Amino acid sequence: MYRQSDNTRSDTPLIYALYIMLSCLFTSLLNIIHSIYILNIELSPVSFIIPAFAGIIFGMMLAYIKLLSKRLQEMAYTDALTNVYNRLHLAHFLEAEIERVRRYQGTFSIILFDLDYFKKVNDQHGHQTGDKILQRLTKLVSAANRDADILARYGGEEFIILASATDLKGAARHAERLRRDIENYPFGLSRKITASFGVAEYKADEDIDSLIRRADIALYNAKAQGRNCVVKAD
183 is catalytic: no
88: left (phi over 0), alpha (psi -120 to 50) or beta: alpha
CA distance 219 to 197: 5
Give me the residues paired with residue 230 across strands.
Answer: 197
Q: Is 228 helix (H, G, I), strand (E, B) or coil?
A: coil
Give me the sheet containing 108-115, strands edge to edge: 150-155, 158-164, 108-115, 195-201, 230-232
Rounded to whole angstroms, the Cα distance separating 32 from 209 reads: 58
Nearest Cα neighbor of 170 from 193, 142, 201 is 201
Q: Is-contact 113 183, C-beta < 8 A?
A: no
Q: Which of 97, 157, 158, 201 is catalytic?
A: 157
Angle formed at CA 160 by CA 156 and CA 164, multiple of 5 degrees: 165
Task: Give the residue numbers annotated as catalytic, written as ranges.
Answer: 157
